[in-house]
């Protein structure tokens, strides 16, 4: 009989840390998993934080070194967002990865985080081994500002509830109260609210889409996959013409703008299958 070898236990428990050495300190991040494993970096969307990935992260602990960042202006990271553009954000991310001793990583990004992940792959291609872009902003399609504007202009449980209801599919309406509370708490700090507003205003002023050359997929050398909810009202699924012809594109049924929250198990399955081929 062949002996069955038990999988090795993760070599690092979950930790929430602050790094004061970043030029926009503090740098806040969650880390867990194997210290010696391939690095898997998670980038959240506008108004969220590193804990937005809590449905997904445990599934990767046994194999990967997992890092989920609080992006500038979010969570416990510093409130400085510069001009709020991709150049500032990718510079911030490049410095953060250096401080965390990450040479290269598989990057998973949601919405604004997906736009940042794509920007990192263009500006620092050596950093990115693969891209998983979930409900990405910045691909040139319509972006619905009105509900976000109302949420940031007059923060209240009512405007947070309206945004939460807009973000998830009708079939996941039971998530709205908890999501609304989290969204309201996210803008309870005036400096954080101002950072969110700056990031959104920059997108509106200069256009939410990445420049055309950044949508030239031939310039990217890493594998790419897209995960979208078919009920996404904030960044609706774009026509295939916007996407690379050889990319994996997964459309999840009855899912809105938050696939990693609304359908965590499906997102984990797609990530695992993709990473098996990308590692």
pLDDT computed for residue 2 by the predictor? 46
Say how far apart CA 246 and CA 70 lie, in whole Å.
31
The residue-averaged pLDDT of 234-246 equals: 74
pLDDT computed for residue 257 by the predictor? 96
**Helical residues (DSSP H) of the chain, grouped into ranges:** 86-99, 112-123, 146-153, 157-167, 176-186, 190-206, 259-262, 264-278
> Tokens 């691909």 sit at which residue?
139
Q: What is the pLDDT of residues 39-85, one digit of tens each?
A: 999 999 999 999 999 999 999 999 999 999 999 999 999 999 999 88
pLDDT computed for residue 199 by the predictor? 92
pLDDT computed for residue 181 by the predictor? 96
> Tokens 């409900």 sit at which residue?
135
Q: Is the dihedral of CA 278, 106, 67, 58 positive or negative?
A: negative
Q: What is the pLDDT of residues 195-233, one digit of tens each?
A: 999 998 887 765 545 555 556 788 888 999 999 999 999
pLDDT computed for residue 4 by the predictor? 47
Query: Which residues contact residue 21 at a Cβ distance below 8 angstroms, ignoring those fewer than 6 apart?
Result: 27, 99
92 class by beta-carbon count within 10 Å (0-12 exposed, 13-18 middle, 19+ buried): buried
Q: Give the confidence band of 236 by pLDDT, cuts at 50, 70, 90.
A: confident
Q: Give the confidence band of 33 by pLDDT, cuts at 50, 70, 90.
A: very high
Residue ranges of domains in the chain: 12-143+208-278
Say how far apart CA 184 and CA 173 lie, in whole Å.
17
> Tokens 């026509």 sit at which residue?
239
Q: What is the pLDDT of residues 117-175, one digit of tens each?
A: 999 999 999 999 999 999 998 776 667 778 888 999 889 999 999 999 999 999 999 99
| Interstrand relation of 39-43 and 12-19 (parallel, antiparallel or unpaired) | unpaired
Rounded to 5 degrees, what are φ and ψ at 139? -100, 5
Assess if CATH 3.40.50.300 describes domain 12-143+208-278.
no
């Amino acid at each position: 009989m062949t002996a069955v070898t038990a999988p090795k236990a993760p070599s690092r428990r979950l930790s929430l840390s602050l790094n004061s050495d970043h030029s926009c300190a503090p740098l806040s991040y969650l880390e867990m998993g194997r210290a010696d494993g391939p690095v898997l970096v998670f980038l959240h969307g506008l108004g969220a934080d590193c804990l937005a990935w809590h449905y997904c992260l445990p599934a990767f602990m046994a194999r990967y070194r997992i890092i989920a960042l609080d992006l500038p202006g979010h969570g416990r990271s510093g409130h400085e967002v510069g001009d709020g553009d991709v150049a500032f954000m990718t510079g911030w991310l490049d410095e953060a990865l250096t401080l965390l001793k990450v040479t290269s990583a598989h990057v998973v990004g949601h919405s604004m985080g997906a736009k940042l992940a794509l920007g990192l792959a263009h500006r620092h291609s050596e950093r990115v081994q693969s891209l998983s872009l979930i409900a990405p902003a910045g691909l040139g399609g319509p972006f619905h500002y009105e509900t976000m504007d109302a949420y940031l202009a007059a923060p209240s449980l009512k405007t947070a509830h309206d945004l939460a209801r807009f973000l998830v599919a009708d079939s996941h309406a039971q998530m709205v109260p908890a999501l609304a509370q989290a969204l309201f708490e996210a803008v309870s700090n005036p400096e954080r609210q101002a950072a969110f507003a700056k990031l959104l205003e920059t997108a509106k002023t200069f256009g939410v889409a990445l420049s055309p050359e950044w949508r030239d997929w031939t310039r990217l050398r890493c594998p790419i996959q897209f995960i979208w909810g078919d009920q996404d009202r904030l960044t609706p699924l774009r026509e295939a013409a916007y996407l690379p012809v050889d990319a994996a594109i997964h459309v999840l049924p009855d899912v809105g703008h938050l696939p990693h929250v609304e359908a965590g198990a499906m997102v984990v399955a797609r990530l695992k299958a993709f990473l098996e081929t990308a590692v």
